[in-house]
Amino acid sequence: MAIIVLSNREPYAPRTGPDGHVHWVASIGGLTTALDPVMQREGGTWIAWAETHPEIRTVHLPEAQPRYRVERITLSSDDVRLSYHGFSNGALWPMSHYFLERAQYRREEWDAYRRVNETFAQAALDCAEDGDMFWVHDYQLALVPGLIRRARPDARIGFFWHIPWPAQDVFRTLPWDRELLDGLLGADLIGMHTPAYTRHFLEACARTLGTETDVGTVRVGERTVQVEARPIGIDVATFEALAANPVTVDRAQRLRDNLRTLMLLCVDRLDYSKGIPERLAAFSSFLERHTAARGRVTLVQVAVPSRERAPAYQQLRTQVEGLVGRINGQFSQDGWTPVHYLYRGLDREELVAHYRAADAMLVTPLRDGLNLVAKEFAASSQDGVLLLSRFAGAADELPGAVEVNPYDVDGLSATLVRALRMPLEEKKARLDQMRQALRQSDLRAWTADFLRDLAGKAALPSELLRLEDRPLLILCDYDGTLAPIARVPRDADPQPGALQALSGLLHHPRHRVAVVTGRRSAQVYSFLPLPDLTVVGLHGMEWPGQAPPAPQREVLERLARQFPSARGVRVEDKRWTVAVHYRNVAPAEQSSVQRALDQVPLESGWERIEGKAVREFRPSGYGKGRAVRALMDGTPGWYPIFIGDDTTDEEAFLAVNAAGGLSVKVGTGETAAQVRLHDPAAVVALLSAWANPG
């Protein structure tokens, strides 16, 4: 099984060297960084547009040690103009970023877009063999999944949409909205950067096509398409190592020495979605209001050239450079220039030196699918502050950033003052918090997870699939097992496909299924609205049809008065028990919060249980182990399986092990479980395989 990647941009660009020969240089960007190592390891084919040197149709890369091939697509100048510059960047790009006044919908450009997508799809089909997986990338190739599906109904096809998916009232302005959705729904797995984008996409499918949708899924005929929020990460270790390199440290110090002021850094592709004019206006307002900052604060704006032939981008460049000139003309004094403007890209080493030198990083797009610059700064900075637009997809992932509204010029100006006055301890705590989040969604994990989940059943351990022939009693935890761990428990929506898999098991002639959780049963039913599903809540205190014992509220109130109040601590009152979550506490402070919770005196008849970044206080005499034993006693003759991820699930693992059943651990860590699955997506793939063995 090989991987076939399709993208508009190629992973290596041809460059003619001094010797007159063509050499291949790795493209800068997240996609190449993410997929090139996988392609080098696994082999396969990458299909992309031959923007330059179109005479070279096939090349094996990397140049020094070729491991995979690139098939380069030659496009006519008309198709480049109409499809790439026209429909892709003149219609889909502005529409997706909510700039409807810039969107132009032209039939001629749509026809060219279809032709280009057909060309890419045919190139993929020509080089594919049975069992190969296809992974298509971004808005330029949205029709490709449907075209491949029609030719290969059984193919495994993934798609990642890298820009925002807009709200339905914006998307419906596109005259070819049905055709675009039909093309995308040829995929088995569609990835987007944020839950908001996936919700908008599901609404578009329901309202435009009338398709059946559920949490993270769309029903297309006999197929179920999964639609998931999977924000792309960065190679955190690489940026941390570069930032710590003595050469980078020295380079950063020279930057600061040359400025001799505090440094505000902005790095953007020159695009109207990035909010550069609004940011410059905010900096001008800042200098106008805070005269003491003049001569003490410098804004460094790196504007990376983009789509230079497009009139809209030429006008934007003129506007930005005019604003830079006006600010410098108005405020320059005594050899100090307020704005240093660089109209060029920076190589990675130079970029990281700028990240390390900056006192604050301003990432203030008016709309952005994600924004990797924000993540790179968080991984590289030692003591800087990240100011991040609430309209960037990355804002959901970086809790340590200072959120700003790029449309609020005065508010952004005021936030600059706060950032520059922020105590060092708070800066470091915020950076630690962001780095912890970044490590949980590393770039390589993003790639591996997507490909594994795209493979679906084929990636599961065969010994688990063989169990399907037996009558199974399948018992699952909820958080971390049927749903990804969420920063806030109320946001823990089930893994896409979980509802369908559980529904299939509930109607299976041989199998039984139940959920055993630390949550209240009502909470789980709100996520999994399946009336026939047995849910045992509160670690075995709450059973269907049985009221729990009266809650000991006075004990809970006394306990709550002793909990630490550090930033990021969240107390979850479950009425009968209380859980204290510290997942969102800065990493440097988590151990002290944990110690404080472990030292809270216990009342008679109460116990403290340990979970992932949580301590829960509950009456003694309960637990998932006891609940699982009771469920097994009630279903003799069924082969018991328990699937869980947390330390609170260990007693359940021991219970099924003692009964001769199977225990399955989700994720890493020491465990008594016999088998591991990687994540909730793998759990859902397994449950789906048991529910629908065909």
- Catalytic residue numbers read 477
CA distance 209 to 394: 30
Element holding 392 (H helix, E strand): none
CA distance 680 to 495: 6
Please give the structure tokens belonging to residue 170.
């914006």
For the chain, how long is the longest CA-to-CA vector? 87
Tell me which amino acid residue 165 is: W
Per the DSSP assignment, residues forming a β-bridge with 404 are 389
> CB within 8 A of 536, min separation 6: which ones?
514, 515, 516, 517, 521, 542, 543, 544, 627, 631
Per the DSSP assignment, residues forming a β-bridge with 400 are none
CA distance 149 to 226: 15
Neighbours of 124 (CB within 10 A): 26
- 3-class DSSP assignment, residue 317: helix
- 3-class DSSP assignment, residue 433: helix
CA distance 266 to 355: 9
CA distance 264 to 359: 6
CA distance 247 to 349: 9
Element holding 24 (H helix, E strand): strand 22-26
Measuring CA to CA, which residue among 470, 478, 463 is closest to residue 520?
Answer: 478
Ramachandran angles phi, psi of 161, nearest 5° = -100, 110
Transcribe 341-376 into DSSP letters.
EE-S---HHHHHHHHHH-SEEEE--SSBS--HHHHH
Give me the residue label for tokens 């795209």: 454
